[in-house]
Amino acid sequence: MHEHLKFKYYTKLRNMAKELTKRDENYSQWYNDLVVKADLAENSAVRGSMVIKPYGYAIWEKIQGQLDKMFKETGHVNAYFPLFIPKSFFSKEASHVEGFAKECAIVTHYRLINAENGKGVVVDETAKLEEELIVRPTSETIIWNSYKNWIQSYRDLPILINQWANVVRWEMRTRLFLRTAEFLWQEGHTAHATKEEAQDEAMKMLNVYVDFVENYLAIPSIKGDKTENERFAGALNTYTFESMMQDGKALQAGTSHFLGQNFAKAFDVKFTSKEGKEEYVWATSWGVTTRLIGALIMAHSDDNGLVLPPKIAPIHVVIVPIYNKEEQLRKISEKVTEIKRKIESKGYTVKYDGRDTYKPGWKFAEHELKGVPVRLAIGPRDLENGTVEVARRDTLQKSTHTSENIDEVIDKLLNEIQENIYKKALDFRDKNTYHVDSWEEFQDIMNNKGGFVMAHWDGTTETELKIKEETKATIRCIPFDAKPETGKCIYSGKPSKQRVLFAIAY
Amino acid sequence: MHEHLKFKYYTKLRNMAKELTKRDENYSQWYNDLVVKADLAENSAVRGSMVIKPYGYAIWEKIQGQLDKMFKETGHVNAYFPLFIPKSFFSKEASHVEGFAKECAIVTHYRLINAENGKGVVVDETAKLEEELIVRPTSETIIWNSYKNWIQSYRDLPILINQWANVVRWEMRTRLFLRTAEFLWQEGHTAHATKEEAQDEAMKMLNVYVDFVENYLAIPSIKGDKTENERFAGALNTYTFESMMQDGKALQAGTSHFLGQNFAKAFDVKFTSKEGKEEYVWATSWGVTTRLIGALIMAHSDDNGLVLPPKIAPIHVVIVPIYNKEEQLRKISEKVTEIKRKIESKGYTVKYDGRDTYKPGWKFAEHELKGVPVRLAIGPRDLENGTVEVARRDTLQKSTHTSENIDEVIDKLLNEIQENIYKKALDFRDKNTYHVDSWEEFQDIMNNKGGFVMAHWDGTTETELKIKEETKATIRCIPFDAKPETGKCIYSGKPSKQRVLFAIAY
Yes or no: say if A73 and A83 are a contact pair by the CB < 8 Å rule: no
The reply to whether B89 falls in a domain is yes
Contact with chain B for residue A100, Cβ under 8 A:
no
Residues of A with Cβ-Cβ distance to B53 under 8 angstroms: 79
C-alpha separations of B21 from A141, A167, A199, A279, B14 in Å: 33, 38, 43, 35, 12
Q: What is the per-residue burial (b if ≥16 Cβ within 10 Å, else e) of B141-177? A: bbbbbbbbebbeebeebbbbbbbbbbbbbbbeebbbb
ipTM value for the complex: 0.94
The reply to whether A45 falls in a domain is no
Contact with chain A for residue B117, Cβ under 8 A:
no
**Residue among A81, A108, A113 whose CB faces B123 most closely:** A108
Identify any residues that bridge with A475 across adjacent strands, giving them in sequence order.
A502
Residues of B with Cβ-Cβ distance to A51 under 8 angstroms: 79-82, 146
Yes or no: say if B383 and B332 are a contact pair by the CB < 8 Å rule: yes
DSSP letters, A122-173, are EE-TT-EEEEEEEEPSS-HHHHHHHHHHH-SBGGG--EEEEEEEEEE---SS
CA distance B129 to chain A (A): 10
How do residues A165-209 score in pLDDT, each as one tens digit? 999 999 889 999 999 999 999 999 999 999 999 999 999 999 999
pLDDT at B100: 64
Residues A316 and A292 in one domain: no
8 Å CB contact of B101 and A91: no
Nearest residue to A129 (alpha-carbon basis) of B283, B281, B48: B48
Residues A268 and A197 in one domain: yes
The phi, psi pair for B387, rounded to 5°, reads: -125, 170
Yes or no: say if A244 and A250 are a contact pair by the CB < 8 Å rule: yes
CA atoms within 13 A on the CB side of B411: 11
Chain-centroid distance of CA B431 in Å reads 23
8 Å CB contact of B82 and A51: yes
CATH number where A167 lies: 3.30.930.10
The reply to whether A181 falls in a domain is yes
**Residue among A97, A107, A145 whose CB faces B107 most closely:** A107
Yes or no: say if B242 and B476 are a contact pair by the CB < 8 Å rule: yes
Residues of A with Cβ-Cβ distance to B358 under 8 angstroms: none
8 Å CB contact of B82 and A133: no
8 Å CB contact of B54 and A79: yes
8 Å CB contact of A44 and B81: yes
CA atoms within 13 A on the CB side of A437: 7
**Residue among B45, B79, B109 whose CB faces A52 most closely:** B79
A334, with CB counted inside 10 A (0-12, 13-18, 19+), is exposed
Contact with chain A for residue B465, Cβ under 8 A:
no
Contact with chain A for residue B136, Cβ under 8 A:
no
Chain-centroid distance of CA A252 in Å reads 9
> Residue A482: pLDDT band by 50, 70, 90 thresholds?
confident
Domain tally, chain B: 3
Residues of A with Cβ-Cβ distance to B161 under 8 angstroms: 54
Residue B387 amino acid letter? T
How do residues A269-293 score in pLDDT, each as one tens digit? 999 999 999 999 999 999 999 999 9
Chain B interface disruption, residue of A50, A110, A141, most B CBs within 10 A: A110
Contact with chain A for residue B268, Cβ under 8 A:
no
Domain termination residue (choose one: B266, B299, B332): B299
Per-chain mean pLDDT for chain A: 94
Question: A291-300 and A54-73 helices cross at what angle (nearest 10)?
Answer: 110
Residues A234 and A206 in one domain: yes
> Residue A120: pLDDT band by 50, 70, 90 thresholds?
confident
Yes or no: say if B162 and B187 are a contact pair by the CB < 8 Å rule: yes
8 Å CB contact of B80 and A90: no
8 Å CB contact of B108 and A106: yes
Rg for chain A, CA atoms, rounded: 26
Residue B59 amino acid letter? I
Contact with chain B for residue A57, Cβ under 8 A:
yes
Write the DSSP symbol of residue B335: H
- The CA distance from B205 to B67, in Å, is 11
8 Å CB contact of B102 and A84: no
pTM for the whole structure: 0.95
Yes or no: say if B64 and B70 are a contact pair by the CB < 8 Å rule: no
Run of H or E including B41: strand B41-43
Three-class SS state of A495 = strand
> Residue A402: pLDDT band by 50, 70, 90 thresholds?
very high
- The CA distance from B259 to B234, in Å, is 6
- The CA distance from A193 to A282, in Å, is 6
The phi, psi pair for B399, rounded to 5°, reads: -155, 165
**Residue among A46, A107, A112 whose CB faces B102 most closely:** A112
**Which whole number is the average pLDDT over A320-335?**
95
> Residue A91: pLDDT band by 50, 70, 90 thresholds?
confident
8 Å CB contact of A83 and B166: yes
Three-class SS state of A38 = coil
Residue A151 amino acid letter? I
Yes or no: say if A414 and A310 are a contact pair by the CB < 8 Å rule: yes
pLDDT at A233: 83
The reply to whether A23 falls in a domain is no
Residues A341 and A267 in one domain: no
Identify any residues that bridge with A258 across adjacent strands, giving them in sequence order.
A237, A284
Residues of A with Cβ-Cβ distance to B61 under 8 angstroms: 78
Other C-beta atoms closer than 10 Å to the C-beta of A98 total 14
Contact with chain B for residue A152, Cβ under 8 A:
no
The reply to whether B321 falls in a domain is yes
- The CA distance from A105 to A259, in Å, is 25
Yes or no: say if A407 and A390 are a contact pair by the CB < 8 Å rule: no
Range of the domain at A466: 433-503
Residue B250 amino acid letter? A
Residues of B with Cβ-Cβ distance to A182 under 8 angstroms: 82-84
CA distance A187 to chain B (A): 14
Max Cα–Cα distance, chain A, nearest Å: 83
C-alpha separations of B204 from A45, B199, B337 in Å: 31, 9, 44
Residues A146 and A294 in one domain: yes
Residues A292 and A329 in one domain: no
CA distance A9 to chain B (A): 22
- The CA distance from B480 to B497, in Å, is 13
> Residue A101: pLDDT band by 50, 70, 90 thresholds?
low
Name the stretches of chain B with pLDDT < 70: 1-18, 94, 99-101
Nearest CA in chain A to B87: A121
Contact with chain A for residue B43, Cβ under 8 A:
no
The phi, psi pair for A297, rounded to 5°, reads: -65, -50
Bridge-based pairing of strands A317-321 and A374-378 is parallel
The reply to whether A30 falls in a domain is no
Chain A interface disruption, residue of B42, B71, B84, most A CBs within 10 A: B84
Contact with chain B for residue A164, Cβ under 8 A:
no
- The CA distance from B98 to B234, in Å, is 9
Contact with chain B for residue A166, Cβ under 8 A:
yes
Residues B54 and B169 in one domain: yes
CA distance B246 to chain A (A): 28
Residues B319 and B265 in one domain: no
Residues B192 and B292 in one domain: yes
CA distance B301 to chain A (A): 22
Residues B181 and B242 in one domain: yes
**Residue among B120, B145, B161 whose CB faces A88 most closely:** B120
8 Å CB contact of A112 and B77: no
Contact with chain B for residue A85, Cβ under 8 A:
yes
CATH number where A355 lies: 3.40.50.800
> Residue A100: pLDDT band by 50, 70, 90 thresholds?
low
Yes or no: say if B235 and B257 are a contact pair by the CB < 8 Å rule: yes
pLDDT at A4: 45
- The CA distance from B460 to B438, in Å, is 18
Contact with chain B for residue A99, Cβ under 8 A:
no
Residues B288 and B396 in one domain: no
Nearest CA in chain A to B127: A103
8 Å CB contact of A77 and B84: no
The phi, psi pair for A44, rounded to 5°, reads: -105, -175
pLDDT at B31: 98
Contact with chain B for residue A233, Cβ under 8 A:
no
Contact with chain B for residue A446, Cβ under 8 A:
no
**Residue among A77, A82, A86 whose CB faces B51 most closely:** A82
The phi, psi pair for A237, rounded to 5°, reads: -150, 140
Nearest CA in chain B to A81: B51
Identify any residues that bridge with A392 across adjacent strands, giving them in sequence order.
A374
- The CA distance from B231 to B255, in Å, is 10
* Helices marked H in A180-309: 195-215, 262-266, 291-300
pLDDT at A327: 93
Contact with chain B for residue A13, Cβ under 8 A:
no
CB pairs under 8 A between A and B: 186
Residues A254 and A376 in one domain: no
CA distance B477 to chain A (A): 30
The reply to whether B120 falls in a domain is no
Cis peptide before B380 (omega within 30 of 0): no
Domain termination residue (choose one: A398, A422, A446): A422
Contact with chain A for residue B170, Cβ under 8 A:
yes
Domain termination residue (choose one: A422, A457, A483): A422
8 Å CB contact of B87 and A112: yes
CA atoms within 13 A on the CB side of B110: 17
The reply to whether A2 falls in a domain is no
pLDDT at A16: 53
Contact with chain A for residue B439, Cβ under 8 A:
no
CA distance B264 to chain A (A): 17
